Structure 1
Amino acid sequence: MAGGAGVTLGRAGRLARIAASGPGRWQGLGIYALVLALNFAGVWVSLRLIAWNKTFFDALENLDGATALRQVGLFFLLTAMSAGSWLAADWLRKLLLIRWRARLTQAALDLWIGNRAYWLLRAGYSDQPVENPDQRISEDCRLFVDNLLTFTLDLISTLVGLFSFVAVLWAAADFALSLTVLGTEISIPRYMVWLAPVYAALSTVLTHGLGKPLKRVYFDRERVEADFRHALVRVRDQADTIAQSSGEAAESRRLAGRFGAIVQNWRQVMRAELVLGLFMRPYMQTVLRIPTFLALPIYFAGAVTLGGLMQIASAFSNVVTELSWFIFKYRDLAGFVAVCERLDGLMSLSKAPAPAGAALQRIARQDPGDGAVRIAGLRLATPQGRWLDPVPDAAIAPGQTVVIQGASGGGKTTLLSALTGLWPWGEGRIAAPRGRLLVLPAGAPVMDDNILAAASYPEPPETHGLPRVHMVLERVGLGHRLRMDTGTSGLSMGERQRLGLARAALNRPDWLFLDEATAALDSAAEADLLRWLRRELPAATLIIVAHRPPRGVDPDQILAIGATEPGRKTA
Structure 2
Amino acid sequence: MTEKPRVAGRSRMRRFFAAALPFWKGQTKVRAWGLTLVVLAFVAAQIATAVGVNTWNRLFFDALEKRDTAAAWSAAAWLPLLIAASALSLSALVISRMLLQMRWREYLTRRLAGWWIADQRYYRLQFVAQEQAAPEYRIAEDVRLAIEPLVEFAIGLISAAVTAATFAAILWHVAGSARFMLAGVEIVVPSYMALAAIGYALVASLAAYLTGRPLVARIAAKNEAEAQFRAEMTRLRENAESIALIRGDADERGSVGENYGRVVAAWLRVIRQQGVIALVLNTNGALFPIVPLLLIAPKYLAGDISLGAVMQVVAAFSAVQAALIWFVDNFVRLAEWFASVTRVDELQEALEGLDIGTIMEGESHIAVEESDDGAIHIDGLSIAHSNGRIVIADANVVIELGEKVLIVGESGTGKSTLIRALAGLWPWGSGSIALPRGKSLAFVPQKPYLPMGNLRTVLLYPEAEKPVPDEIVIAALKRCGLAYLAKRLDDEDKWDRILSGGERQRVAFARLVIRRPDIIIMDEATSALDEDSQTALLGLFEAELADATVISVGHRPGLEEFHDRKITLEKRLAGAQLTSRRLGKSLWRLFKTRKAANDEAA
State TM-score, norm by structure 1.
Answer: 0.91
* CA gap 1:157/1:441 in 2 versus in 1, 3 angstroms: same
Query: How much does 1:560 deviate?
Result: 1.1
Secondary structure at 1:263's aligned position in 2? Answer: helix
CA distance in 2, matches of 1:120, 1:192: 61
CA distance in 2, matches of 1:183, 1:466: 104
* Residue of structure 2 equivalent to 1:231: 232
* Identical counterparts, % of pairs: 34
Query: How much does 1:448 deviate?
Result: 4.0
* Residue of structure 2 equivalent to 1:163: 165
Of 111, 115, 122, the residue aligned with 1:111 is 115
* Residue of structure 1 equivalent to 2:600: none
* CA gap 1:176/1:359 in 2 versus in 1, 3 angstroms: closer
Contact 1:509-1:540 at 8 Å conserved across structures: yes
* Residue of structure 2 equivalent to 1:137: 139
CA distance in 1, matches of 2:181, 2:263: 55
Of 405, 409, 416, the residue aligned with 2:408 is 405
* CA gap 1:297/1:251 in 2 versus in 1, 3 angstroms: same
Residue type matched to 2:30 in 1? Answer: W
* Alignment deviations for residues 439-496 of structure 1 (CA, whole Å, 9 cap, x no partner): 1123344444654433322222654355544543344334545648632214322122
Of 512, 521, 528, the residue aligned with 2:520 is 512
* CA gap 1:491/1:156 in 2 versus in 1, 3 angstroms: same
Contact 2:23-2:32 at 8 Å conserved across structures: no
Of 524, 544, 565, the residue aligned with 1:536 is 544
Secondary structure at 1:439's aligned position in 2? Answer: strand
Secondary structure at 1:302's aligned position in 2? Answer: coil
* Residue of structure 2 equivalent to 1:546: 554
Superposed counterparts of 1:210-359, under 5 Å: 210-353=211-354
CA distance in 2, matches of 1:359, 1:10: 26
Residue type matched to 2:429 in 1? Answer: G
Of 62, 65, 80, the residue aligned with 2:69 is 65
* Residue of structure 2 equivalent to 1:487: 494
Residue type matched to 2:69 in 1? Answer: G
* Alignment deviations for residues 243-286 of structure 1 (CA, whole Å, 9 cap, x no partner): 22222222222222222222111111111111111001231343
CA distance in 2, matches of 1:317, 1:151: 20
Contact 1:418-1:424 at 8 Å conserved across structures: yes
Residue type matched to 2:418 in 1? Answer: L
The farther-off stretch of 396-405 and 431-440 is 431-440
* Residue of structure 1 equivalent to 2:389: 386
CA distance in 2, matches of 1:101, 1:13: 13
Pairs aligned (count): 564
The farther-off stretch of 70-79 and 272-281 is 70-79
Query: How much does 1:296 deviate?
Result: 0.9
* CA gap 1:87/1:256 in 2 versus in 1, 3 angstroms: same
* CA gap 1:59/1:106 in 2 versus in 1, 3 angstroms: same
Residue type matched to 1:276 in 2? Answer: I
Secondary structure at 1:361's aligned position in 2? Answer: coil
* Residue of structure 2 equivalent to 1:501: 509
* Alignment deviations for residues 278-334 of structure 1 (CA, whole Å, 9 cap, x no partner): 001231343233212221111111111111111111111111111111111111111
* CA gap 1:403/1:338 in 2 versus in 1, 3 angstroms: same
Query: How much does 1:108 deviate?
Result: 0.5
Q: Quick check: 1:524 aligned with 2:527?
A: no
CA distance in 2, matches of 1:70, 1:8: 56
Contact 1:359-1:425 at 8 Å conserved across structures: no
* CA gap 1:142/1:242 in 2 versus in 1, 3 angstroms: same
Secondary structure at 2:128's aligned position in 1? Answer: coil
Secondary structure at 2:520's aligned position in 1? Answer: strand
Contact 1:404-1:560 at 8 Å conserved across structures: yes
Secondary structure at 1:402's aligned position in 2? Answer: strand
Query: How much does 1:167 deviate?
Result: 1.4
* Alignment deviations for residues 355-400 of structure 1 (CA, whole Å, 9 cap, x no partner): 7879973545554320211224433332233333557632211111
CA distance in 2, matches of 1:195, 1:361: 64
Q: Quick check: 1:91 aligned with 2:92?
A: no
CA distance in 1, matches of 2:19, 2:285: 32
* Alignment deviations for residues 403-427 of structure 1 (CA, whole Å, 9 cap, x no partner): 1111111111111112223323334
Q: Quick check: 1:560 aligned with 2:568?
A: yes
* CA gap 1:299/1:360 in 2 versus in 1, 3 angstroms: closer
CA distance in 2, matches of 1:382, 1:226: 26
Contact 2:58-2:308 at 8 Å conserved across structures: yes
The farther-off stretch of 293-302 and 233-242 is 233-242
CA distance in 2, matches of 1:568, 1:537: 34
Secondary structure at 1:405's aligned position in 2? Answer: strand
CA distance in 1, matches of 2:475, 2:293: 83
* CA gap 1:267/1:479 in 2 versus in 1, 3 angstroms: farther
* CA gap 1:150/1:467 in 2 versus in 1, 3 angstroms: farther
CA distance in 1, matches of 2:387, 2:361: 5
Residue type matched to 2:390 in 1? Answer: W
Secondary structure at 2:354's aligned position in 1? Answer: coil
Secondary structure at 2:374's aligned position in 1? Answer: coil
Secondary structure at 1:374's aligned position in 2? Answer: strand
CA distance in 2, matches of 1:38, 1:189: 33
Q: Quick check: 1:419 aligned with 2:416?
A: no
Query: How much does 1:128 deviate?
Result: 8.2
Unaligned regions of 5+ residues in structure 2, if any?
1-6, 577-602
* Residue of structure 2 equivalent to 1:82: 86
CA distance in 1, matches of 2:573, 2:235: 41
CA distance in 1, matches of 2:474, 2:294: 81
The farther-off stretch of 496-505 and 306-315 is 496-505
* Alignment deviations for residues 502-554 of structure 1 (CA, whole Å, 9 cap, x no partner): 23223332211111100111111111122136533232111111113545963
Secondary structure at 2:528's aligned position in 1? Answer: coil
CA distance in 1, matches of 2:149, 2:81: 31
Unaligned regions of 5+ residues in structure 1, if any?
none
Secondary structure at 2:527's aligned position in 1? Answer: coil
Contact 1:165-1:319 at 8 Å conserved across structures: yes
* CA gap 1:213/1:478 in 2 versus in 1, 3 angstroms: farther
Query: How much does 1:227 deviate?
Result: 2.0
CA distance in 2, matches of 1:331, 1:232: 28
CA distance in 1, matches of 2:441, 2:319: 66
Query: How much does 1:105 deviate?
Result: 0.7
Query: How much does 1:218 deviate?
Result: 1.7
Contact 2:375-2:398 at 8 Å conserved across structures: yes
Secondary structure at 1:186's aligned position in 2? Answer: strand
